[in-house]
Structure formats: C-alpha cells, structure tokens
Chains A and B, each alone.
Chain A
Amino acid sequence: SAVISQKPSRDICQRGTSLTIQCQVDSQVTMMFWYRQQPGQSLTLIATANQGSEATYESGFVIDKFPISRPNLTFSTLTVSNMSPEDSSIYLCSVEPLTVGSYEQYFGPGTRLTVT
C-alpha cells in the first residue's frame, strides 16, 4: 500500500475563486487519479494525472475547470477554478503503486470543499 496525504483537508471558498488541492505520496507510483464525491453520492473519476504530460480527463470534466499538474512520481495538484456552489464536494486523490498488475488503488483522506 501507500501513505497518501492531501492538503487542505477542508476549505470554505467563495464563488468565483479557485482552490488548489495537493496530493503527496510516500513512495513513487505509476498512476495518480483525482475523483469527486458529491454530497451523499458515489465517486466519479475526474482525470488521470500523468507524470510529465497533460492529464487525461473523463467525459464531463475539462482542463480549464480542473487543471491538474503532476511534476514527479509522488506529487500532484488539482485546481478547482471559478468555483460555484455545485463544486461543493469531497475531492480525493488515489494512486496505483508500482506493483505490476495489481490494479489496486489507494486513496487519500479527501478534501472537503464547500463553496458559498
């Protein structure tokens, strides 16, 4: 497994502003992912954070709204831009360790975002 931390753990933001969420892993990993969990809902994949190249976004999510960086094999950021109350969610990063063929993903503790 891997130890994953996220910052901040929670935040309250005003509409129209942006928030950057950080995800740090204690070991090098191949894959890093960002998920959104809206209140009382399941998790939805936003994008795959690729090291050294642009993130790969899922249908319904765009780079202008959710820019992602991944400068190395242990760190990634997700920015939620021009926020609206509909962006109020828990944002989770996950990682797939380097173990070949495991396909297991381990999650960070999440960032609870409230937009007012």
Chain B
Amino acid sequence: AQTVTQSQPEMSVQEAETVTLSCTYDTSENNYYLFWYKQPPSRQMILVIRQEAYKQQNATENRFSVNFQKAAKSFSLKISDSQLGDTAMYFCAITGTASKLTFGTGTRLQVTL
C-alpha cells in the first residue's frame, strides 16, 4: 500500500517570491515514482514534475524543483519566482510499477501581488 501526506492545506506567497510545498510518503515498493500535479480552477490536472526514486539527483523543470530525501520519504516542491498563474491546488502523488497513482490531499497555493 502507498500513502501520501500533505500537511499544508493552504499556503500563500507573494509574486516573485519562493515557496516550498511539503510532501511525505510511504511505500513498500523499491521502484517508485513521485509526481507533483497542479490543478488550477479550470480543474485540468497538469503534470508539473516527476522524480524517479532510483535517481539521487533532484528533478528540475524551469522554476519548479524538488527536494527528494529518500531516507526520510520526503518530496517537497519548490516554486521560484512565483507567478499569479501558479495559483492552484498542488497534489503530490506516488506510483509503483502497477501505474496506480495515489494522491495526497493537496495544498491550495495562492499567489498574491
């Protein structure tokens, strides 16, 4: 079984600042993949970034980067230079080789002027 915990229901950040969203997980699998998805008010789920558990190097996609701590089972998302368009729900998710995504409860991020 896999579980994902997001302990921050809501966060706020000013435009151009940096924010970090937390995520912890648990899994019994050795091979797994971690993801951050963004869901703006339009409700479209958008894949932001992914991390393979076997890779030590943290994934980076433009302004988005992760801090993957495998031993601590932690997978946080850092958003740099926050933009108004980053306002959304952010879901952390995990999947193993069965390709079944398990999601956390989400963090609502509000970017303000």
Binds A, one of B20-28, B55-63, B78-86, B102-110: B102-110
* B17, chain A: closest CB distance, angstroms: 26
Task: Encode contact with B along A13-45: 1 for CB under 8 Å, 0 otherwise.
Answer: 000000000000000000101010000011111
The CA of A109 and the CA of B106, in the complex, are separated in Å by 18
A110 close to B101 (CB less than 8 A)? no
The CA of A94 and the CA of B39, in the complex, are separated in Å by 14
The range of chain A's interface size is 20 to 34
Most B CB contacts (10 A, CB to CB) among A1, A31, A42, A45 go to A42
Q: Specify the main secondary structure of chain A where it touches its partner.
A: strand
B44 within 8 A of A: yes
**Which residues, 70 to 115 on A, are CB-close (under 8 Å) to B?**
90, 92, 94, 96, 103-107, 109-110, 112
Find chain B residues with CB under 8 A from A107 CB.
37, 44-46
Known contacts: A42-B91, A43-B91, A43-B101. The answer to whether A104 contacts B106 by CB under 8 A is no
The CA of A100 and the CA of B71, in the complex, are separated in Å by 27
Find chain B residues with CB under 8 A from A104 CB.
35, 47, 50
Task: Add 7 more A-B contacts to A43-B103, A94-B101, A105-B99 (CB < 8 A).
Answer: A35-B101, A43-B91, A45-B101, A48-B99, A107-B44, A110-B43, A110-B44
Q: Interface of B with A (CB < 8 Å)?
A: 33, 35, 37, 42-47, 50, 91, 95, 97, 99-106
Q: Interface of A with B (CB < 8 Å)?
A: 1, 31, 33, 35, 41-45, 48, 58, 90, 92, 94, 96, 103-107, 109-110, 112
